[in-house]
Amino acid sequence: MSATTSNPPTPAPFALSHAWSTKHVIPQPCDLALNPPQTYLYIQDFLIVSCGILYALCYFFYMTRTYSDRYCAGTPLYLAGTMAYELYYSLVMPRSRFERVCFLVWFMFDVSFVSVALWKGYKREERRWMVWVLVVGTMAGMALLRVCGKIWKDDLEMVVAYWTGTLLELPIGWASIYLLVKRGDTKGQSLEIWVTRFLGCIAAFAVFGWRYINAPQNWAYVGSSWSLGLMAATLLPEVVYPAVYIWAHRKERETGKAKVT
């Protein structure tokens, strides 16, 4: 009596690819309503993920330079705004567990940077009130974002996220140049920080630029004169930063040699 063996069912061709074809990073309902091609969504995914990785590296380089120089290039109190942004939108924007985890990872990079900056850049008696201000500032920032989201309503509160994110990024490049010129040294700063920050800005703006080019009716505010002006004002200091950094680095070396002699 011969035993019959049954072959396992053959999976459909490209089953895994089809299963992942609907997995995208924060797809916007207004765009999905227009039935966009997969290429649009995949390029958007690439830009969003690239932006996240670049900013994570930027935070890492900020932390290592702050740790080694025992100096924070700027005030850690400014991070109350970025922490409020990342914590608030981790609750509002993500549609999947993966997206929420990514937002929380960026938030933890903020917390880590604040911890290093306070530990290495400030005296013990200064830390307590700064932590208090950071906590209160973060909570106040989240409340402000909530109010703005209620006033200017749209899908996933993207309008408020765009303008507030751009305004948070705007002063960083200018402040970095100001510190280089004022101090005449590169403490707390590095070209690695600049590269990742600059490319992160470009990737962030490219996300919205890609959306505007493909569906201008959904992203009209991205092409407005105010928006383009803020983009230019944000990127301008990043373009001139290397020249100012090299000048400050040379001045730092000359000052060091003068002290030795």
Q: Domain extents for the chain?
A: 28-260
Distance CA 244, CA 181 (A): 7
Burial of 221-259, coded b for 16+ CB within 10 Å and e otherwise, reads: bbeeeebeebbeebbebbeebeebbeebbebbeeeeeee
Checking if the pLDDT of 64 tops 70, the result is yes
Res 261: pLDDT: 61
DSSP string for residues in 165-205: HHHHHHHHHHHHHHHHHHHSS-TT--HHHHHHHHHHHHHHH
Q: For residues 17 and 79, what is the distance between their CA atoms, to the nearest angstrom?
A: 40
CA–CA gap between residue 45 and residue 27 (Å, rounded): 9
Mean pLDDT of the chain: 88
Least confident of 54-63, 101-110, 180-189: 101-110
The more confident residue out of 230 and 257 is: 230
Q: What is the pTM of this model?
A: 0.87
Phi, psi of 239 (to 5 degrees): -70, -40
Q: What is the pLDDT of residues 148-166, one digit of tens each?
A: 999 998 888 899 999 999 9
Say what the pLDDT of residue 184 is: 93
Residue range 175-182: average pLDDT?
96
Query: Is residue 85 classed exposed, middle or buried when 0-12, 13-18 and 19+ CB atoms within 10 A define those classes?
Result: buried
Please name the residue that has the structure tokens 């290093």: 116
Alpha carbons 29 and 154: distance in angstroms, whole number: 10
> How large a percentage of the chain has pLDDT more than 90?
64
